[in-house]
Amino acid sequence: MSLDARPADTRSPLKRIAANTAWLLGGKGFGAVCGIIYLAILTRSLGVKDFGHFSLIFGTAQALIALAGFETWRVVVRYGSDHIHQGEWDRFGRLAMACGLLDAAGAMIGSVVAFLVIFGFADSLDLNPAYIGPAFWFSCAMLWALVSAPTGVLRALHRFDRAVYVEAIVPLGRLVAALLIWWTGPSVIRYLIAWALIDLIEAGFYWVTARRLCPQAINVRNLRLWRLALTENRGLVRFALVTHAGGTIDAIMRHGPLLAVGGLVSTKAAGLYRLASQLTQAMGKLSSLLTRSVYAEVAHVKASSGPENLRRLALQTSAIAALAGGLTTALAWAFGEELLGLIGGAAFEQGASILIPLAVAGSFELASVVFEPVLHSTNAAGRALMARISGVIAMTLGIFLVFAQNAEGIAWSVALGSATTYCTLALLALQRVSRPH
């Protein structure tokens, strides 16, 4: 069925968010099960020390992605929702292809930065010299595997069902690869190669899926005319730069603490921190799922409804998310040590003291899931960036002035930063939707 032939969606915004999140939760539920299994294989087959090396390399790659890669999916959803609402498929296509080129430019810049960072500062991360070369190539592969633009196409079209199938490639592929590597002889380098190849395969499938869903937009003709997108979408460049800065700040919050643990404490401590962080992310997966579905729905409501509907949507979603965040923290407090021991073995149980503050941080992140999309959709992306910066400042002060410089102290600093971000985002977003603009 073509896009034009699809029946109009008459569901309420909250029901659309619930439906889209349910699709994502189904896929991520499968991914979470696979993720816990392959994480257990990694930790038990590599041990605390080598898992720490793997974690530092992976964390460095993720930080480089955020520094060099533009979150173009947000640009596609923010501006593309209006084009879809008006049936302007050529404009939507030029926007998507321009964002795809921006992804490629970010990958090229990121590869240069990766060379400088990895070969210049490997000693600061206590990285084994044998892993420096593989770490660079792994980072380059992950940078080129970042295909944010086609992800935005699927989300703008509300085709979260298709996104679920594509994103299942990574957890399933990693699980199969982990089993094979464990059976044939585990090593850090083998796991890095497998992870990189699987992410590149997923990237290819994302573009193919976007093309099949919207051939009238995703084509070579619109690629050649990408420059028109700069004039057809007012404020696009500024929005892209602001969201990129916000993504960079978010990456500092997510991956900076792991690198700080590796640099200030030890590689072993980084392994403990990474497992606790991964488990917290698995328990709080609803945060990222809600972000994806809420972002698309907020843009849709902004394009088709008034500010009162936007305000109601923000309050309803934030209340639901806050409840889910509280449940996540309770789960970490009650069963954290047992879960860490089950996944990683007895050597990782000491990470329970790290897990609880990270769960607190995750609950604040989940509770604030709707506020940033609201600010972006109401032309206040700069305010969202201010909130992110305030969180990083609070986290940095926590690491160096408030808490002890160990893994647990750094984790509590992350919680402090997340709480600061939540309070600032909530204040700014509710002010924005409470007055005309």
Q: pLDDT digits over 2-59, tens only?
A: 454 444 555 554 455 555 555 445 445 667 677 778 888 998 898 888 888 898 898 8
Residue 232 to residue 184: CA distance in whole angstroms: 54
The answer to whether residue 414 sits within a structural domain is: yes
pLDDT digits (tens, 9 = 90+) for 307-354: 666 666 666 666 666 776 777 778 778 777 777 777 777 777 777 788
Predicted local distance difference test score (pLDDT) of residue 266: 73
Helix H or strand E encompassing 85: helix 72-86
3-state secondary structure of 285: coil
Residue 418 has pLDDT above 80, yes or no: yes
The answer to whether residue 310 sits within a structural domain is: yes
Residue 428 has pLDDT above 50, yes or no: yes
Total domains in the fold of the chain: 1
pLDDT digits (tens, 9 = 90+) for 192-230: 999 999 999 999 999 999 999 989 888 999 899 999 999
- 223: containing domain: 13-433
pLDDT digits (tens, 9 = 90+) for 52-79: 889 889 888 988 888 888 889 889 988 8
pLDDT digits (tens, 9 = 90+) for 223-279: 999 999 998 898 888 888 888 887 788 777 777 788 778 777 777 787 788 788 777
The answer to whether residues 362 and 281 touch, using CB atoms and an 8 Å cutoff, is yes
Residue 244 to residue 248: CA distance in whole angstroms: 6
The answer to whether residue 2 sits within a structural domain is: no
Predicted local distance difference test score (pLDDT) of residue 367: 73
Burial of 356 (0-12, 13-18, 19+ CB in 10 A): buried
The answer to whether residues 229 and 75 touch, using CB atoms and an 8 Å cutoff, is no
Residue 241 to residue 287: CA distance in whole angstroms: 24
Angle at 116 between CA 110 and CA 121, to 5 degrees: 120
The closest of 213, 217, 222, 215 to 166, measured between CA atoms, is: 213
DSSP single-letter state for residue 7: P
| pLDDT category of residue 165 using cuts at 50, 70 and 90 | confident
Predicted local distance difference test score (pLDDT) of residue 68: 84
Q: Which residue has the higher pLDDT, 58 or 372?
A: 58
Residue 273 to residue 410: CA distance in whole angstroms: 10
User: Residue 414 corresponds to which amino acid?
Assistant: V
Q: Which residue has the higher pLDDT, 284 or 362?
A: 362
Helix H or strand E encompassing 112: helix 89-121
The answer to whether residue 6 sits within a structural domain is: no
The closest of 294, 263, 260 to 365, measured between CA atoms, is: 294
79-83, 107-111, 173-177: range with lowest mean pLDDT: 79-83
Q: CB count, 10 Å around CB of 11? A: 10
The answer to whether residue 408 sits within a structural domain is: yes
DSSP single-letter state for residue 416: H
Residue 258 to residue 53: CA distance in whole angstroms: 11
The closest of 270, 252, 271 to 261, measured between CA atoms, is: 270
Residue 244 to residue 71: CA distance in whole angstroms: 6
The answer to whether residues 202 and 145 touch, using CB atoms and an 8 Å cutoff, is yes
The answer to whether residues 171 and 30 touch, using CB atoms and an 8 Å cutoff, is yes
Predicted local distance difference test score (pLDDT) of residue 239: 85
For 100, 101, 118, 406, the CA distances from 105, given in Å and listed in that order, are 9, 6, 20, 37
Q: Which residue has the higher pLDDT, 29 or 396?
A: 396
Q: CB count, 10 Å around CB of 334? A: 10
The answer to whether residue 47 sits within a structural domain is: yes
What average pLDDT does this structure show over 366-389?
A: 77
Residue 310 to residue 294: CA distance in whole angstroms: 11
Provide Rg for the chain, Cα atoms.
Answer: 21
The answer to whether residues 371 and 356 touch, using CB atoms and an 8 Å cutoff, is no
The overall average pLDDT reported for the chain is 80
Q: Which residue has the higher pLDDT, 320 or 185?
A: 185
Predicted local distance difference test score (pLDDT) of residue 198: 96
The answer to whether residues 285 and 33 touch, using CB atoms and an 8 Å cutoff, is no
The answer to whether residue 1 sits within a structural domain is: no
Predicted local distance difference test score (pLDDT) of residue 294: 52
Task: Tell me the whole-structure pTM to 2 decimals.
Answer: 0.72
The answer to whether residue 3 sits within a structural domain is: no
Residue 144 has pLDDT above 80, yes or no: yes
Percent of the chain with pLDDT over 70: 81
Q: Which residue has the higher pLDDT, 304 or 272?
A: 272
For 10, 128, 226, 282, 298, the CA distances from 140, given in Å and listed in that order, are 44, 19, 25, 26, 34
